[in-house]
Amino acid sequence: MKQLQIDEQKARSRYKSASPEIKEILEDTFGKEFFNESVEDSINSLEDALAETGRPSVPDFDCVPEDLRDFFKATYKCVVIAEALNESKRFDLYNESEYRHYPYFRNNGSASAFGFRATYCVTAISSAGSGSRLAFIDSKRAKIAGEKFKNEFNEMLSL
């Protein structure tokens, strides 16, 4: 007899596209509440974000010069975190009625004092580098990203 083992991260990511029968099995195993948890509560680490999005783990980026690899790794992490918190919703950047929210950080004149400061939102404009991959669909999610994933954003912004 073969046994199927599935951890919480995989169960959550498979649940969305599962058939009603499989959903029932997953709910019996993990409890219905587990799948009703919002992404704000369920995404607490990069591993959670990777599982939520189904993205592969961080590439080694050995295609780019060595001094840029850590920067691209950090950027990939933030892109996946944003995708997970946004529940994979992509932005239409040309839609003037669609707002994109971003976390804002201040280092207070010291690298060690880096921290979340506020969120801001824009519609039909954007700054270099911001784009759709690092935007959030509401200020709540931008704030969660800025606070919960402060270290990942610090890494990306400082490298």
Write down the least CB distance from residue 109 to another protein, Å: 5
As a whole number of angstroms, the distance between CA 111 and CA 54 comes to 33
Q: Which amino acid is at 70?
A: D
Number of residues written out for the chain: 159
Please compute, for residue 92, the number of CA atoms within 13 A of its CA located in the half-sphere on the CB side. 5
As a whole number of angstroms, the distance between CA 135 and CA 146 comes to 11
Write down the least CB distance from residue 89 to another protein, Å: 14
The residue (of 26 and 136) whose beta carbon lies closer to another protein is 136
Write down the least CB distance from residue 134 to another protein, Å: 4
The residue (of 8 and 98) whose beta carbon lies closer to another protein is 98
The residue (of 35 and 61) whose beta carbon lies closer to another protein is 61
The residue (of 31 and 115) whose beta carbon lies closer to another protein is 115
Tell me the CA end-to-end span of the chain in Å, nearest whole number.
51
Interacting residues with another protein (CB under 8 A): 55-56, 59-65, 68, 71-72, 75-76, 78-79, 82, 93-94, 102-111, 117, 120, 124-135, 145, 153, 156-159
Write down the least CB distance from residue 157 to another protein, Å: 4
The residue (of 11 and 134) whose beta carbon lies closer to another protein is 134
For 5, other C-beta atoms within 10 Å of its C-beta total 5
Spatial neighbors of 53 by CB under 8 A, at least 6 apart, are 13, 80, 83, 84, 88
Write down the least CB distance from residue 45 to another protein, Å: 18
Containing 116, the helix (H) or strand (E) segment is strand 115-122
